[in-house]
Structure 1
Amino acid sequence: MTLRLFRALAVFTAILVTHAAFADEGMWLINKLPSKELKQQYNFEPTATWTEHVQKSCVRIGAGGSGSFISPDGLVMTNHHVASDAIQDLSSEQHDYMADGFYAATHEAELKCPHMELTVLQEIQEITDRVNAAVKSGMSAADAFAARKKAMSEIEKEARERSGLQPEVVTLFNGARYDLYLYKRYTDVRLVFAPEAGIAFFGGDLDNFEYPRFNLDVTFLRAYENDKPAKVEHYLKWSKAGPKDGELIFVAGHPGRTQRLFTVDHLRFLRDVQLPLTLSCYNQREIALNQFMGRSEEYGRIGKEDLLGIQNSRKAFGGIINGLLNPRLMNRKMEAEAALREFVQADPKRREKYAAGWDKLSKALAEVQSFYTEYFMLESRRASLGRYHDLARKLIRAADEKRKPDGERLTEYRDANLPTLELDLFSEAPIYDALEQLRLEDGLIRLGRHLGGEHEAVVAAMGGMDAGSRAASLIGGTKMKNVSFRRKLYEGGTAAIAECNDPMIQFAQALNPAARALRDKYEKVFESVEKEAYAMIANAKFEKDGDRVYPDATFTLRLAVGTVAGYRDGSETIPAMTDMAGLYARAAQHKEREPYNLPKRWADGRNKLDLKTPFNFISTNDIIGGNSGSPMFNRDGEVTGLVFDGNIHGLIWDFQFDMEKARAVGVHSQAIIEALRKLYGAGKLADEITKG
């Protein structure tokens, strides 16, 4: 696997394109589509009506996934792996919906998902001038950063009061532009259908990021309002035929983050500092989870979702590091950066406005490196100490932050973001003490490994015990599982926190001052400078390339353009589509050993299926993490598939687009309907989908 990944990332050809080109590259803002290029290349012109329909049919799911409305009764399509947290939360030792699947034949049987939130973009407003007007001449980068934050808070507060919608100020081009997005929010979301994890993730970690694939990675949810299915005006209709080889196809979703604007020095920081820390955490946690899950069948059930997420991230970040170790890719980035800097230096006015950007950023990167390990281990979610600690820290910080003026708070505690915070804090989702003890013990060991046993934070965290005893003591004594206890602390504010003798609250309080100070330092030393520097660099690109520049991904709605297309890998031709016959051949090839063992329904139901039915397919659409669950649709706005992955060659898309071999991977629309009708007895659901 590692060798294949290295070879894939080592092959770069002249088809690599620049950040300002149009060759199916681009995660385009929904309000700034490349209409001219679409007309020239595909003879397609997106109208205002078409664009609004796509925008309001698309759904952002929680903090990391995409979906779409596909019926007027609030039916939402997404990936199984996007909804898997909810599926796991709804499962129990008696009803394992991850292993066995789930289907609600009636609305009454649909299960409410704890702490799931859907948001749908309603309106976009350009606010760059207002945000930047808060910055006064002579301000330091840190003061300018604080002034912009305050302005954003005021804008969000006004927007919420005026519209009643969920506001979000979106930073584009790493700080060169600002937009206000207004969302309609759904918090009553119910599970309608989920297949078995064994077919949703057939092939497991071994086939992840590979192609050909054979996965039914789909789940259907339903949005509710006032305890009834939501009535939505905009939804995508279904294509009975599905995609054809060479056909124009669109992907509309919420890509999480890319680093294509990053400077060469910033990419080196990712490669040499940030990503190795991340992988170290994931590698240690994967080992601990595998050992935990081997203890019993029930431990295997409650740990599986964690393990799948860790394995996926470990493989993805490993591929990104391999890409950044590729001298060809780095040389191309250096050439592109040199060309832009030469353009800036060629004109005195441009030189005065933009030239300092690169040096400012490089200096900040050098400074942040001196304390980045501490910051990462104490503040990054990727070094989490578990759910109980996460809840405790949020309660402590909420009490502190809510006393401040809105514009001076940490972003996640601003008034506009409190509904999402409260949805998480008061979730009824199950928390398993055995799994929490593992997470905390593993986290304590990891903290000591990276910071050293005599580091002040490590000494405070260990409390004079070994990691196992400390974790057992904290988990055994805390009341954090109790939602009413958490609500009482939240509503009681700083006084309730100060009086609380819960060991997890006290543990989080012991670590919070150091973590909070490191976050403040990170924002002052690096993040404020980063915004200022990239604003200069991005504006230089605007001046050089005009409207052909698109911003890095920000987990906001984007449109990607592509075609259904296979590719050549050496002497081998990889076809664009797989079929259901290939699924059974793949299982037989591996003698149905895990992870190639078929769920019983699929093993027994082979003769019920038309094995020529297309199953998965690939396209040249520009996607990244966060696009999971995005609808794939034709120029008529008809769903032809569902994004669930990228192939191994696409792991470099974080920082460089390449369409020679890199592909988005989707579930074919025909496969979804074939399985619903013939294997799951879900004809009623299939009718709702296909009839609209």
Structure 2
Amino acid sequence: MPVPRHRRSATALLGATLLCALAPLAASAMEGMWTLDNLPKATLAQKYGFTPDDAWVNKVMHSAARMAGGCSTSFVSAGGLVLTNHHCVDSCLGDLSRPGQDLRRQGFLAQHPQEERQCPGMELNRLEQITDVSAAFAQATAGKTGQAYTEAANATRARLESACVNGQDATVRCDVVTLYQGGARHLYRYHRYQDVRLAFAPEVSIGAFGGDPDNFDFPRYDLDMGLLRVYENGRPAATPEFFPFNPHGPEAGELVITAGNPGSTQRLLTVAQLETLRDVDLPGRLLREAEQRGLLNQYGSEGTEQNRLAQKTLRWIENGFKVQYGQLETLRDAEVMARKRSEEAALRQFAASRPELKDTLGAWDDIARATRVYREIHPHLAYTEGAEGYWTDYYSWARTLVRAAAERSKPSGERLPEFADAALLATQRHLLAPRPIDPAFEKVKLAWSLSQMRQWLGADAPLVRQVLGRKSPQTLAAELVDGTTLGDPKVRQALWDGGAAAIAASQDPFIRLALATDGEARALRARHENEVKAVETRAAEQIARVRFARTGTSVYPDATFSLRLSFGEIRGFKKNGQPVAPFTEIGGTFARATGEDPFALPQSWLTAQPALNPAQRFNMVSTNDIIGGNSGSPLINRRGELVGLIFDGNLGSLGGAYWYDEADNRAVSVHAGAILETLDKVYHADRLVQELKAGAVH
């Protein structure tokens, strides 16, 4: 359990709040996750003497990339070599592992090109173009509310994305990105790489050195990196625009930039929405993840193979728990909420002072009413549409198959968004990826989640009685898993290809379960979309009008897992009143090692210790504004050279979902020089080192 984050004094915080209320200025260069078409150029020029031109922005856009399922990446050679975090390739390592061959524990190195192994289902996207489509949405949804609004917005999204892909879905992906909580919508066109192969990953004991105790902390000593390669037509893809390595790295005070895809922030939410997160969502997630962590630890203690399977999921559960605990602490901070209320009051007062904004005055109250509906339906929504009672890939596959069969017969614009034409390939690839699954492990997870559903909805709830009948969760889980054949990708392929007729004829118990529960899940999803999301989005569009009238686009939008630049500098911070230097060195890793997990170094490092430069900088912190999804982001200098690799934040960054505090918030990265030093002297990855050095700054 992490200690509460360091808090600024009430006087300082309320002083900042007052300034925000009275003089809404552009964010400083340190704060913000900026879209590429709206960078804080004036602030950068004034503070750092740096004005990124169009050529610089285009190079960054084409050198950065993202994993479709989460995490950021970047190209680091002209031959399709991609740099990201170890924890971002962790799922690939797990999927490629087998009993007796734990690639997470052993690490992986392709000494020759033909040894690079494809990661099942992994996809990389490189941004190519941004188009403002706000007017199309405004026209389509004008005067509409509730279900009519949802249907119009979904149809418009499907039409724009489909036209953008234009039948080239093998190499093109298009996403409508909602910015400013609905104040703007942009269409992002990506080049899609569907053949992604693993080239290198260190052992998890150094890729996650320090484990959960060191997570979201600093000083750190982590080689949290991995190398992938994208292929096209069976050959390494040509990627002429990439970030060359600068092994010298940055100095303290130097400007550094992240080019990544932050997942989600909630800095522009209303107070009612933040209170719902604080009172409903975060406590529920924390309780669930705490119990999941206990279950996985228990299962992992039962044997070597059980441990391998449990660890694949446990790392993510522990990380999520710590993140959400920090977020809850932030929203429980009376000073932070006072700031949010003051900012909201100032915005409402501004709207009231402008006759042209009179129609926006009810927006905040509309959102408050929507949050009350959400609180009412939340428990059943979580266990129906949220599928929290069915913690197993078998059910996820079954639901996708059941819904795909029903949705694909409809026009694209009338389908659930995940089955619209532009999204269908991604859905299909995720379903059919040949990932291994262990039936015994799935029984344990499913029995636990069914028990949770019974506990939280009650044994007499119609859904619980429908699903369990007179059986215990353990008995039902065993029957379902023993009776299914969905673990075979060929079976899933046949059901996908067979469509509605194949689904209707299937006697697979998970298919029957998904069919039986889909009606209630869809009904609750529709209610949530029409009575909560549609209301909140429509009201947020009105609030965005107020914000634009007051500050224009000098305020950045919330994160949306789309490419953003964050500008900061290498700088230490204070922890418990003591200064923390911005760098650690490789030599400190051996001093920190204890020989016991999670501070046990792999044998490869112990063997290589005499050859390593102990003074080589290893990890470092900067003031870049990041959040989950930034994992794997390149840290570059003003010349577009890669000087580090973002892999974490400190404890002070956990409240970054709701606000940015320059005194506390730090991004943690691996030094570019440490990556080359260890690839060379620990792993003897000569082929990859030569490829990285070919474009490196000397």
Cross-structure match for 1:615: 618
Normalised TM-score (structure 2) = 0.96
Residues of 1 paired with 2:396 and 2:215: CA distance?
29
Whether the 8 Å contact between 1:577 and 1:616 is mirrored in structure 2 is: yes
Superposition map of 1:237-252 within 5 A: 237-252=244-259
CA distance in 2, matches of 1:126, 1:499: 45
> Does 2:641 correspond to 1:638?
yes
Residues 1:148 and 2:153 aligned together = yes
Deviation at 1:217, TM superposition (A): 0.2
* SS at 1:465 equivalent: coil
Cα deviation, residue 276, structure 1: 1.2
Cα distance between partner residues in 2 of 1:646 and 1:11: 24
**Structure 2 vs 1, CA of residues 381 and 564 (structure 1 numbering), >3 Å: closer, same or farther?**
farther
CA distance in 1, matches of 2:27, 2:109: 45
Partner residue in 2 for 1:418: 424
2:668 matches 1:662: no
**Residue 225 of structure 1: aligned partner:** 232
Paired letter, 1:652 = G
Q: Does 1:194 align with 2:193?
A: no
Q: CA 1:381–1:585 in structure 2 vs 1: closer, same or farther (change >3 Å)?
A: farther
1:567 matched to 2:573? The reply is yes
- Give the SS at the match of 1:645: strand
After TM superposition, give the deviation of residue 148 of structure 1 in Å. 1.8
Residue deviations 1:430-489 (CA, integer Å, cap 9, x gap): 111122112211110111121111111112222421111111111111000111111111
Distance across 2 between alignment mates of 1:341 and 1:382: 38
Q: Are positions 1:674 and 2:680 aligned together?
A: no
Structure 2 distance, partners of 1:9, 1:378, is 41
Structure 2 counterpart of 1:258: 265
1:14-163 map, 5 Å: 14=13, 20-137=26-143, 139-161=144-166
Letter paired with 1:310: I
SS of alignment partner, residue 443 of structure 1: helix
Shift of residue 408, structure 1, vs aligned partner: 1.4
Q: Secondary structure at the match of 1:341?
A: helix
Give 1:545 deviation, angstroms.
0.7
- Mapped partners of 2:468, 2:50: distance in 1: 62
Post-superposition CA distance 1:180-231 (Å, at most 9, x none) = 1111111111000000000011111111101111100000000000110001
CA positional deviation for 1:277: 1.4
Looking at structure 2, the residues matched to 384 and 205 of structure 1 have their Cα atoms a distance apart, in angstroms, of 27
The answer as to 2:321 corresponding to 1:318 is no
Measure how far apart 1:11 and its partner are: 8.0
Q: How does 1:400-479 map to 2 (within 5 A)?
A: 400-479=406-485
Q: Distance in 2 between matches of 1:688 and 1:215?
A: 23
Superposition deviation, residue 377 in structure 1: 2.2
Which residue in 1 is equivalent to 2:693? 690
1:211–1:647 Cα contact (<8 Å) kept = yes
The question of 1:592 aligning with 2:583 is answered: no
Partner of 2:555: 549
User: Aligned residue pairs: how many?
Assistant: 686
Q: Any idea what SS the aligned residue of 2:356 has? A: helix
For 1:178, the equivalent position in structure 2 comes to 185
Amino acid at match of 2:401: L
Change in CA separation of 1:10 and 1:509 when aligned onto 2, cut-off 3 Å: farther
1:132–1:148 Cα contact (<8 Å) kept: no
Deviations 1:30-52 (A, max 9, x none): 12111121111111111111101
Q: Deviations over 1:58-78 (max 9, x none)?
A: 111022110000000000000
Structure 2 CA distance for aligned equivalents of residues 260 and 396 of structure 1:
37
> Residue 366 of structure 1 is aligned with which of 364, 367, 372?
372
Q: Which moved more, 1:164-173 or 1:212-221?
A: 164-173
> Could you report, residue by residue, the CA deviation over 1:64-108 in whole angstroms, capped at 9, with x for unpaired residues?
110000000000000010110001111112321100111101110
TM normalised by structure 1 equals 0.97
What is the deviation of 1:358? 0.3
Q: Is the 8 A contact 1:281 1:382 kept in 2?
A: no
* Match for residue 357 of structure 2 among 327, 350, 353: 350
CA distance in structure 2 between the aligned counterparts of 1:152 and 1:558, rounded to whole angstroms? 22
**Equivalence for 1:5:** 4
- 1:399 is paired with a residue whose SS is helix
Q: Which residue of 1 aligns with 2:342?
A: 335
Rate the CA distance shift 1:294–1:162 in 2: closer, same or farther, 3 A.
Answer: closer
> Which letter does structure 2 place at the counterpart of 1:64?
G
Distance 1:162 1:204 in 2: 45
| Cα contact 1:135–1:147 (8 A) shared by 2 | yes
Where does residue 503 of structure 1 map in the other structure? 509
Q: Aligned equivalents of 2:529 and 2:65: distance in 1?
A: 31
Partner SS, residue 44 of structure 2: helix
One-letter code of the match for 2:563? L
- Where 2:129 maps in the other structure, the secondary structure is strand
Relative distance call for 1:163 and 1:124 in structure 2 (3 A) is farther
Rounded to whole Å, the distance in 2 between the matches of 1:33 and 1:270 is 30
Q: Any gaps of 5 or more consecutive residues in structure 2?
A: none
Q: Which runs of 4+ in 1 moved over 3 A?
A: 6-20, 381-384
Contact kept, 8 Å, 2:388 with 2:453, in 1: the verdict is no
How far off its partner does 1:690 sit? 2.1
Match of 2:27, as an amino acid? A
* Counterpart code for 2:272: D
Cα–Cα, structure 1 residues 630 and 200, in superposed 2: closer, same or farther, change >3 Å? same
| Contact 2:261-2:563 at 8 Å conserved across structures | yes
Bigger Cα displacement from structure 2, 458-467 vs 214-223: 458-467
Cα distance, 1:383–1:62 mapped onto 2, change above 3 Å? farther
- Rounded Cα–Cα distance in structure 2 between residues aligned with 1:615 and 1:382: 40
Shift of 1:517: 1.0
Deviation at 1:142, TM superposition (A): 2.9
Consecutive unaligned residues of structure 1, counting only runs of 5 or more, are none
The aligned residue for residue 206 of structure 1 is 213
Q: 2-side partners of 1:526 and 1:638: how far apart?
A: 45
Distance 1:28 1:347 in 2: 28
Name the Cα RMSD after superposition. 1.6
- Bigger shift: residues 507-516 or 113-122: 507-516
CA drift of 1:600 comes to 1.2
Percent identity reads 38
Q: Give distance in 2, aligned partners of 1:492 and 1:426.
A: 14
In structure 2, relative to structure 1, the CA distance for the partners of 1:193 and 1:263 (3 Å cut) is: same
- 2:384 is paired with a residue whose SS is helix
C-alpha separation in 2, matches of 1:640 and 1:561: 14
Alignment partner of 1:237: what SS? coil
1:273 aligns with 2:272: no
Indicate how the Cα distance of structure 1 residues 174 and 384 shifts in structure 2: closer, same or farther if over 3 A, else same. farther
Does residue 376 of the first structure (1) align with residue 386 of the second (2)? Answer: no
Distance 2:373 2:253 in 1: 49
Residues 358 and 447 of structure 1, relative CA distance in 2, 3 Å threshold: same
Deviation at 1:10, TM superposition (A): 8.2
Supply the AA of the counterpart residue of 2:667: A
